Amino acid sequence: MGHSSQNDRRVVITGLGVISSLGIGWQEFWKNLVAGKSGISRIEAFDTSKFDRHFAGEVKNFRSEQFFGNRSMVHIGRTSQFALAATKLALEDTHLTYKDLNNFRLGVAVGTTMGELKVLEVIDNVLITSGLNDIDPKMVPFYPSNGISATIARNLNITGDNFVNANACSAGNYSIGHSFDNIKLGKVDMMIAGGADSFVKFLLSGFTRLLAVATEKCQPFDKNRQGMLIGEGAGILVIEELGHAKRRGAPIYAEILNYGLSCDAEHMTAPEASGISKAINKALRSTGIRPEEVDYISAHGTGTEQNDKNEAQAVRKIFYSNGHRTPMSSIKSMLGHTMGAASAIEAIACCLAIRSSIIPPTINYSEPDEECDIDCVPNKSREKELNIVLNNSFAFGGNNACVVLRKNC
């Protein structure tokens, strides 16, 4: 059986699964996002008394038995549980049963920042308090990051391409780009793609030492911004060849037109406006889209001083001309920074924004910053017909990834 040429194969998003501090399942997530609600709360996952930061976007209503029944998930890390649960939600959303998966050329691509560091923390704690012989050997294989996608494959019997990238805060978009390429090249018909992370003590201590964590709220693009708040969760998308999706009557949220990657090759933590611009311009050139055709930009928007300033500078240079002001909002103001899940969850928000003709807001915005002179859709969502949307993500190491989505025609 032959396959159509690369140029003929269009790539669409047909299923959405979200685990987040704003809701489990895209319906609850989107309702709270549009309402401008905050998913930030006091951390309960571990004792923060020795820290000077105590708030995060913690997922507090996740119950593994809701997704996995009575099956024991005790050895599987929280990040893998998030990823598998979001995958199940995405498959239900695209009207697929697990038996259906055997009929498709299907792969898995998941991104992460921390992997299963929580598993390592548990192992380390047992080693210190009890000794080597008390470490459960069943836990050890679940520590490496590749265990996240392997858990999805093993539980759903997916025997195709299986891939994990650890490109930090851009990891979700990198997974989407990898999936786009696989489908465009005819290697697969469908991919399960996205990102997942759960937060651990190391994450809070690390970002606090970098002086990058706010006290109680994240204020992207605001003059008084103090930094990010860490978050956790998973975003999984079912990505599919258009003809394949149409033949099975799948819902289509958006088309992926292409993506752009760049590396600043500069500072490890502070992004460069030139590197951001390069990724955005590559994404636009690869699609033939002009800047003025972009209706909305989902910002990386962490709430840190340098990131917001450089992202705003790059966006102004590319998109703000002749009085044109492309709106750009940051949902991290509501979710916190979900690390490897961030750009995947933001891609889902982009799909729902296109579907609903609503732009989610940047909350906690009170005072404009002349260095971030953009339309950040402050505090309240906005109705707007959206045809072309850009999803920005910029990671430590200067790894930038921008994805262009279009309303399905």
Reported as a single tens digit per residue, the pLDDT across 259-285 is: 999 988 777 677 788 999 999 999 999
Domain hosting 362: range is 257-406
Q: Which of 218, 244, 337, 350 is catalytic?
A: 337
Asked which of 215, 247, 279 is the last residue of a domain, the reply is: 247
Strand partners, 193: 109, 237
315: amino acid identity, one letter:
V
- pLDDT-derived band at 31 (thresholds 50, 70, 90) equals very high
List of residues 6+ apart from 397 with CB closer than 8 A: 167, 168, 263, 264, 268
pLDDT at residue 165, as a whole number: 94
**CB of 301 closer than 8 Å to CB of 362:** yes
Asked which of 247, 268, 302 is the last residue of a domain, the reply is: 247
Residues 240 and 277 in one domain: no
Integer Rg of the chain from CA: 20
pLDDT at residue 102, as a whole number: 86
pLDDT at residue 142, as a whole number: 65
- pLDDT-derived band at 114 (thresholds 50, 70, 90) equals confident
pLDDT at residue 94, as a whole number: 97
Whole-angstrom distance, CA of residue 238 vs CA of residue 199 = 25
Whether residue 279 lies inside any domain: the answer is yes
Whether residue 1 lies inside any domain: the answer is no
pLDDT at residue 141, as a whole number: 64
Average pLDDT over residues 354-371: 97
Residues 237 and 279 in one domain: no
Residues 54 and 198 in one domain: yes
The pLDDT of residue 183 is above 60: yes
Residues 195 and 326 in one domain: no
The pLDDT of residue 206 is above 80: no
Whether residue 164 lies inside any domain: the answer is yes
Whole-angstrom distance, CA of residue 142 vs CA of residue 151 = 9
Whether residue 370 lies inside any domain: the answer is yes
Residues 278 and 157 in one domain: no
Number of domains into which the chain is organized: 2
The pLDDT of residue 131 is above 50: yes
Residues 232 and 322 in one domain: no
Q: Identify which has the larger pLDDT, 360 or 48.
A: 360
Whether residue 4 lies inside any domain: the answer is no
376 included as an active-site residue: no
pLDDT at residue 406, as a whole number: 98
Sign of CA dihedral 317, 11, 196, 168: negative
169 included as an active-site residue: yes
The pLDDT of residue 384 is above 70: yes
Average pLDDT over residues 62-68: 86
The pLDDT of residue 4 is above 50: no
337 included as an active-site residue: yes
Residues 353 and 310 in one domain: yes
Residues 242 and 262 in one domain: no
Closest CA to 96 of 248, 246, 235: 248
Whether residue 252 lies inside any domain: the answer is no
User: The CATH number of the domain where 188 resides is what?
Assistant: 3.40.47.10
The pLDDT of residue 117 is above 70: no
Whole-angstrom distance, CA of residue 166 vs CA of residue 145 = 8
Asked which of 197, 213, 247 is the last residue of a domain, the reply is: 247
Q: Identify which has the larger pLDDT, 312 or 139.
A: 312
Whether residue 5 lies inside any domain: the answer is no
Diameter over CA atoms, the chain: 69
Q: Which of 300, 350, 351, 372 is catalytic?
A: 300
**CB of 160 closer than 8 Å to CB of 215:** no
pLDDT, tens only, 86-113: 999 999 999 998 888 988 999 999 999 8
Residues 356 and 242 in one domain: no
pLDDT at residue 3, as a whole number: 46
Residues 117 and 243 in one domain: yes
pLDDT at residue 33, as a whole number: 98
Give the chain's mean pLDDT: 90
Residues 223 and 290 in one domain: no
Average pLDDT over residues 210-217: 86
